[in-house]
Amino acid sequence: MKTNLMWFRSDLRIRNNLALYSACQDCEATILALFISCPHQWKLNSMSSRKAFLIYKNILFLKKELMKLNIYLYYHESTTFLESVNYLIKFCRKNKVNNLYYNYEYEFLEQKRDIMVMKKLKKYHIISNGFHSSTLIPPGVIINKKGEMYKKYSHFKNRCILELLQNSLNDIFIPKKRKTIILTSNTPIVPFDFNFHRFNEQLFPIGEIKVLKKLKVFFKNKFNKYFTNNNSISHDTTSMLSAHLSIGVLSPMQCLFLLFKYYPNTYAYYVKKCCWVNELIWREFFKHLLYFHPLLSQQKVLCDWENNIKWNNNEKHFEAWKRGKTGFPIVDAGMRQLNQLGWMHNRLRMVTSSFLVKNLLIDWRKGEQYFMSRLIDGDTALNNGNWQWISSIGSDSAPYFRIFNPILQSKKFDAQGKFIRKYIPELTKISYTNIHDPNTWNGNIRRRNSYPEPIINLADSKKTMLTVFKFAKYKL
């Protein structure tokens, strides 16, 4: 009789989990499951304390779900990836494991870790079985004629849509319950060494059952209005599923599968035209990009002129940005939302990141790392991809001269100033016509409201940025 080990990482679900499902295909096999936390490594990777807490709570839930299948989830806390590899090998040998099952992760250190595991296990004749379960399509399938990853998003997207419509949806169900539970030792899941930060469980529920319910509620109540509403930051208009996708409590395939179930007649149309599916395909693009270029997770870039950019890196400006005290209300409200909630609306992520890179001329790496250290949905592929896109140095980026004007963005997407007032109570009394533009306020208003002066002049900063970027790119 074989012993199969399912190694959980960022795939904390029992439904639609390719590796788990495959591990359980042999009805006779003994199935063991293992999760290894790596708090020290995660801190080095700037994981936020909210995301760490979300992981912790979800592994507790996962353990209960696995119990229902008669599978025991073993738990171990290690510090680094290297230590986790050594533990895993020991575990496999002690429990006479024949096959290891896991879903791939695409970051540089994670890929290196998995290669190390595979090589070491091979020596003991243990077979490693890896699966792509965090994407819609396995990376490597959508490639250009040279066998490389597409550089242009639109090309990637077109191919991706074709693949999605040609192949039937892969909704892998829960594996069948095992006859008996195998318990070789008892390993309780204790809080790992991380300064956990509480988060709002109404917004970010625990466990795949509640998350699937959240997805259904999104399709029922918000999906049809997403096209017109999704940029409105004052309303609860988007799915808020990113945190669950980032730790794999939900898979993107489940998103499409449920979309199909809700809208069978219009499904093909939605895959081609719907902007929510388009966002999932952006996610796909950045995941595939990271798979091909894992060093992106080490803040490397693919373009050859980025290191010519002369960053300003003013520490006082960086501090003001982080604390939501730049004197530009929409930027500050966004940053305060990030600090208080661990989540920020996509429009605000664009506005605040553009402000940091293009107006303050601060190295995008600092912003990327700060976002990661605060986001409950921090995901290297998406965070890095979007920061590089905003900074105009990514694979298919905004042109370098594109810069978000925070005042215009504020007027357009928070017309009544409701969002600003929610996060900047100092400005509650300012009228909706004036709230967006601090230059319309007189000194009295500012003093009364103890809100900072704008730290820069927008027009001047735009001119400087254009000169710096043009020089870096064309040496002009």
Burial 389-416 (b: 16+ CB within 10 A, else e): bbbbbbbbbbebeebbbbbebbbebbee
Instruction: Please pick, from the candidates 22, 49, 383, 410, the single residue that binds ligand FAD as defined by CB under 6 A.
Output: 383
CB 169 within 8 A of CB 257: yes
Query: Is 364 among the catalytic positions?
Result: yes
The minimum distance between CB 393 and ligand FAD, in angstroms, equals: 13
Stretch that binds ligand FAD, among 169-177, 314-322, 374-382, 459-467 (CB under 6 A): 374-382
DSSP output for 157-178: HHHHHHHHHHSPP----PPPPP
**Chain residues 385-444 in contact with ligand FAD, contact rule CB under 6 A:** 386-387, 390
The minimum distance between CB 260 and ligand FAD, in angstroms, equals: 16
Q: Could you give the CA distance from residue 459 to residue 465 in angstroms, rounded to a whole number?
A: 10
Q: Could you give the CA distance from residue 368 to residue 384 in angstroms, rounded to a whole number?
A: 7
The minimum distance between CB 401 and ligand FAD, in angstroms, equals: 18
Comparing CB distances to ligand FAD, the nearer of 47 and 66 is: 47
**Chain residues 270-329 in contact with ligand FAD, contact rule CB under 6 A:** 279-280, 282-283, 286
3-state helix vs strand vs coil in the chain, percent to 5:
50, 5, 40
Q: Residue count at the site for ligand FAD (CB under 6 A)?
A: 28
CB 299 within 8 A of CB 365: yes
Q: What angle do CA 162, 163, 167 make, to 5 degrees?
A: 120
**Catalytic position from the list 7, 42, 343, 387:** 387
| 327 burial level (CB within 10 Å; 0-12, 13-18, 19+) | middle
Comparing CB distances to ligand FAD, the nearer of 178 and 345 is: 345
Q: What are the C-alpha distances in Å from 78 to residues 41, 50, 83?
A: 9, 19, 6
For 75, list phi and psi in degrees, rounded to 5.
-135, 140
Residue 378 is a binding residue for ligand FAD (CB under 6 A): yes
Query: Is 42 among the catalytic positions?
Result: no
Comparing CB distances to ligand FAD, the nearer of 15 and 63 is: 15
Residue 379 is a binding residue for ligand FAD (CB under 6 A): yes
Query: Is 279 among the catalytic positions?
Result: yes
**Chain residues 197-256 in contact with ligand FAD, contact rule CB under 6 A:** 230, 238-242, 245-246
| 141 burial level (CB within 10 Å; 0-12, 13-18, 19+) | middle
Q: Could you give the CA distance from residue 246 to residue 40 in angstroms, rounded to a whole number?
A: 19
Comparing CB distances to ligand FAD, the nearer of 99 and 388 is: 388
Query: Is 276 among the catalytic positions?
Result: no
Residues 6+ positions from 291 with CB-CB distance below 8 Å: 104, 106, 139, 140, 149
Residue 353 is a binding residue for ligand FAD (CB under 6 A): yes
Query: Is 311 among the catalytic positions?
Result: yes
Residue 374 is a binding residue for ligand FAD (CB under 6 A): no
**Catalytic position from the list 83, 163, 279, 426:** 279
**Catalytic position from the list 311, 314, 405, 441:** 311
Q: What angle do CA 29, 31, 36 make, to 5 degrees?
A: 150
Residue 134 is a binding residue for ligand FAD (CB under 6 A): no
**Catalytic position from the list 276, 321, 364, 389:** 364
The minimum distance between CB 273 and ligand FAD, in angstroms, equals: 16
The minimum distance between CB 380 and ligand FAD, in angstroms, equals: 7
| Chain positions contacting ligand FAD, by CB under 6 A | 230, 238-242, 245-246, 279-280, 282-283, 286, 345-346, 349-350, 353, 371, 375, 377-379, 382-383, 386-387, 390
Residues involved in catalysis = 279, 282, 311, 346, 364, 387
